[in-house]
Structure 1
């Protein structure tokens, strides 16, 4: 019995050590992730990404559905190589206080909350910074985990990137059609020209399809896209035109 008890104590001691080792790993995991994400965002301030997480998931989704003909369309375009109407159209459509807030538009959040309390179609209040974080680093869908990571990455983006980099990144990773990511790929796909040659009307149409890029077509706009694009152009003029985004820092 003495030998059995000694063996049992050894096993219990080994089990206790394993538990402590796993506990230490769990405690260190958030620290490791925080350091990794800071480095990740800092690198992407200077390095243009070859793809985004949303693009990767979209490709996997197509393969899982047996759509072997599906191809991603993506080509990076520097901000200075885009028509000046592109950034202001995106801001007018998605986040008109983009130059002013620090990643979260509290006024828009409060307005959305009041609107949703009255019922009807739900309204969101995500900023361009939040959407950039989601499109670049995360995945589609709704969950508390994804939302928490979106907040974290948004804070990092706003802290480590200038506004010009944020709008440049958003214009390149946003989806403008099924499998079409970025304004350069969209411009080539829809009009056969580079993003530098987009007209204000074409830029507004691209921004107009962003709520549902797989449902609407910027090259063949229906009544909704036409109305929204016209509204975007009016808003862009009221904001002060391209200078409104150019002056953001």
Structure 2
């Protein structure tokens, strides 16, 4: 009897082990798929007529919320807007490889010294985040954002990255992309934006939930004027999108 009992016990253990290994293999396969998926999608996003959507747009659609979005090719967007956004968000966009490591090192130094955090997200990093990740300030999300940004810079041209960014960035609750923003706030196409309007839209991007380019605060106007002056001299910095 004792021998039979032990044998049955061993048989049960043998059954459990393959089941556990099967679950681990499944988790590994899912993890590998999630790692490969962004690269596959980036390959698809290289195609000019493909119009990517952001994870935030997908969330709003799943929640049946109304969104405004009209895709516009970068060649049809006012150069004022492209220049203003680059000078406001990422002046070194054409020269870095998706991540501005100099700015990133300054952020790490500030964190170590206990100083207030500064922004170091490049346009490429924001594009990768909008395409594949979620909003938030967790270190885990930032750790995922860095390799995704470098992969985005490798797979897509600078011009295509900028085009996608301008078409998926949020400019207000449910307002995605510069064409929808331009129509919503200024009743004109993004191709017709003035430098002042473009600068106000550019400085709205860091906090579109509370900033309104048609009702700017004094701080917004002051920042927009700085961006406007920089945009006038942006020629050498924006060659990669021309």
The unaligned stretches of length 5 or more in structure 1 are: none
Q: Which residue of 2 aligns with 1:181?
A: 176
Q: Which residue of 2 aligns with 1:206?
A: 201
1:204 CA drift (Å): 0.8
Query: 1 CA distance for matches of 2:159 and 2:224?
Result: 23
After alignment, is 172-181 or 104-113 more displaced?
Answer: 104-113
Partner SS for 1:129: helix
After alignment, is 115-124 or 181-190 more displaced?
Answer: 115-124
After alignment, is 219-228 or 158-167 more displaced?
Answer: 219-228
1:79 CA drift (Å): 0.5
1:117 CA drift (Å): 6.2
Which of 39, 54, 57 is the equivalent residue of 2:56?
Answer: 54
1:129 CA drift (Å): 0.5
Query: 2 CA distance for matches of 1:179 and 1:209?
Result: 14
Which of 121, 142, 151 is the equivalent residue of 1:126?
Answer: 121
After alignment, is 105-114 or 222-231 more displaced?
Answer: 105-114
Query: 1 CA distance for matches of 2:124 and 2:241?
Result: 13
Which of 73, 79, 85 is the equivalent residue of 2:80?
Answer: 85
Query: 1 CA distance for matches of 2:111 and 2:221?
Result: 26
Q: Which residue of 2 aligns with 1:28?
A: 29
Partner SS for 1:124: coil
Q: How does 1:82-161 map to 2 (within 5 A)?
A: 82-114=77-109, 121-161=116-156
Q: Which residue of 1 aligns with 2:165?
A: 170
Q: Does 2:236 align with 1:234? A: no
Query: 2 CA distance for matches of 1:248 and 1:76?
Result: 17
Query: 2 CA distance for matches of 1:150 and 1:163?
Result: 17
Query: 2 CA distance for matches of 1:114 and 1:17?
Result: 48
What's the TM-score, normalizing by structure 2?
0.89
Q: How does 1:217-232 map to 2 (within 5 A)?
A: 217-232=212-227
1:54 CA drift (Å): 1.6
Partner SS for 1:247: helix
1:6 CA drift (Å): 2.7
Query: 2 CA distance for matches of 1:181 and 1:124?
Result: 22
Asked whether the 8 Å contact 2:93–2:123 carries over to 1, the reply is yes
Deviations 1:132-161 (A, max 9, x none): 111121111122332222122212101100
Query: 1 CA distance for matches of 2:58 and 2:219?
Result: 30
- Residues 195 and 22 (structure 1), Cα distance of their counterparts in 2 relative to 1, 3 Å cut: same
Partner SS for 2:233: helix
What's the TM-score, normalizing by structure 1?
0.87
Asked whether the 8 Å contact 1:99–1:245 carries over to 2, the reply is yes
Q: How does 1:60-71 map to 2 (within 5 A)?
A: 70-71=65-66
Partner SS for 2:216: coil
The unaligned stretches of length 5 or more in structure 2 are: none
